[in-house]
């Protein structure tokens, strides 16, 4: 660590930013840490928004990632409710939305993502606690919710709404939901769960805008609804980095150490970071909670001089109805998917994924954690596909 690194600024006060701050202190950094967050809340957990908060199983006070005492112990200069609007690398300063600045010797960018929108002003999105609470108050029996987008977020919200007795229409432009991520076979199995629970799932259906009555489809017809949730993906929050000299391309472009391309002493972490993962020899940007925490820790250590590549086996989970879905690895762009345990029709199975000649991922539905954990280790060591599946068949 440079002796001149007296001030570190972390832009983004969610799981990646908090993990970075905690790691800096744990590694012995005693300088000033400024934590900037565009929401007025201290760091909180986002995965429960589409499940426990939307269903009413939790109140919002359970979302806090740390207690007030834990945060106070970190000795942070917190700037909540202020958004980064510009980065001046020459002056080593972050300009904030209230007109103030935060000077730095080292910077960690963890600004996350924001939801994509459709034309029209009546739709809900689901990114913040305020979003979740606003939608929660609108769901119940005798209400009709249209969900645009049958990815994991949209599917979770649809499942919760059905559990609360709402009528749900789930609209997806692709022929098979999630096929791009998990493959057509698995995507079809997950889709059947929605049909079995009474969701009106319409695939191959594109939405052009949100209207006062509901949504207008690309063919001009209208699906009426009491409320509309748009869950069609996200944009990385990188606009404030434009003109800074950093490389931005579907996120902040970073190397295998999570160091930003185009600057020294700047690192990326979490949903906003697009980095080269040597384990899979590909560039990836992962929008999952576990990755955000792990990359925040790595970015902090490497800012202090550790020099360790960030080579995780990505992990995500999803809860839909009675299905617990878990996945390890990098499933996108796979060449083959094979069911090695269980039964697709029963929605209790384990699927493994091949990219080239190696095992690249595994996904389980309704299986105990140990069923997939052994596959995680095989992915982590770069196991050859033929060896992995032959061992499973033995």
Instruction: Look at residue 1 in the predicted model and tell me its pLDDT.
Output: 46
Answer with the residue of higher pLDDT: 394 or 307.
Answer: 307
Task: Kindly report the pTM of this predicted structure.
Answer: 0.96
Instruction: Look at residue 2 in the predicted model and tell me its pLDDT.
Output: 45
Q: Return the minimum-mean-pLDDT range out of 182-186, 241-245, 387-391.
A: 387-391
- Mean pLDDT to the nearest integer, 43-65: 97
Cβ pair 101, 95 in contact under 8 A: yes
Instruction: Look at residue 394 in the predicted model and tell me its pLDDT.
Output: 60
Q: What is the Cα–Cα distance from 120 to 127, expressed in whole angstroms?
A: 18
Q: What is the pLDDT of residues 234-288, one digit of tens each?
A: 999 999 999 999 999 999 999 999 999 989 999 999 999 999 999 999 999 999 9
% of the chain surpassing 70 pLDDT: 99
Q: What is the Cα–Cα distance from 97 to 171, expressed in whole angstroms?
A: 37
Q: What is the Cα–Cα distance from 36 to 164, expressed in whole angstroms?
A: 36
Q: What is the pLDDT of residues 137-159, one digit of tens each?
A: 999 999 999 999 999 999 999 99
Cβ pair 303, 265 in contact under 8 A: yes
In the chain, the domains with their CATH numbers are 7-114+234-303 (3.50.50.60), 125-230 (3.50.50.60), 322-393 (3.30.390.30)
Q: What is the pLDDT of residues 190-213, one digit of tens each?
A: 999 999 999 999 999 999 999 999
273 has which bridge partners?
A: 252
What integer best gives the mean pLDDT of the chain? 96
Closest CA to 199 of 234, 228, 161, 233: 161
Q: What is the Cα–Cα distance from 27 to 285, expressed in whole angstroms?
A: 26
- Mean pLDDT to the nearest integer, 73-91: 98
Element (H, E) at 113: strand 113-115
Closest CA to 377 of 359, 365, 357, 364: 359
């Amino acid at each position: 660590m440079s002796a001149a690194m007296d001030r570190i600024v972390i832009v983004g006060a969610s799981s990646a930013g908090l993990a970075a701050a905690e790691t800096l202190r744990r590694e012995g950094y005693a300088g000033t840490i400024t934590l900037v967050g565009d929401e007025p809340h201290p760091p909180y957990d986002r995965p429960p928004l589409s499940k426990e908060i939307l269903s009413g199983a939790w109140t919002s006070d359970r979302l806090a990632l740390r207690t007030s005492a834990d945060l106070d112990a970190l000795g942070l200069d917190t700037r909540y409710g202020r958004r980064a609007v510009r980065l001046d690398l020459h002056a080593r300063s972050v300009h904030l939305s209230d007109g103030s600045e935060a000077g730095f010797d080292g910077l960690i960018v963890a600004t996350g993502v924001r939801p994509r929108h459709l034309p029209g002003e009546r739709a809900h999105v689901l990114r913040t606690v305020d979003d979740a609470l606003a939608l929660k108050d609108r769901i119940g029996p005798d209400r009709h919710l249209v969900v645009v987008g049958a990815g994991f977020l949209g599917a979770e919200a649809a499942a919760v709404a059905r559990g609360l007795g709402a009528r749900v229409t789930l609209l997806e432009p692709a022929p098979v939901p999630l096929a791009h991520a998990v493959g057509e076979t698995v995507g079809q199995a997950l889709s059947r769960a929605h049909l079995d629970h009474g969701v009106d799932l319409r695939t191959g259906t594109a939405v052009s805008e949100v209207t006062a009555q509901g949504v207008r489809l690309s063919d001009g017809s209208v699906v009426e609804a009491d409320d509309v949730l748009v869950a069609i993906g996200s944009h990385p929050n990188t606009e404030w980095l434009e003109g800074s000299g950093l490389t931005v391309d579907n996120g902040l472009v970073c190397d295998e150490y999570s160091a930003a391309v185009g600057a020294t002493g700047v690192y990326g972490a979490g949903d906003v970071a697009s980095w080269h993962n040597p384990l899979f020899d590909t560039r990836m940007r992962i929008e999952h909670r576990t990755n955000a925490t792990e990359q925040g820790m790595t970015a902090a250590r490497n800012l202090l001089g550790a020099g360790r590549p960030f080579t995780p086996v990505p992990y995500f989970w999803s809860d839909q109805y009675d299905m617990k879905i878990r996945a390890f690895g990098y499933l996108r762009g796979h060449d083959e998917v094979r069911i090695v345990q269980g039964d697709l029709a029963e929605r209790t199975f384990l699927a493994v994924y091949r990219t080239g000649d190696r095992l690249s991922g595994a996904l389980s539905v309704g299986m105990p954690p140990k069923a997939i954990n052994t596959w995680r280790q095989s992915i982590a060591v770069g196991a050859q596909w033929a060896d992995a599946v032959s061992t499973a068949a033995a």
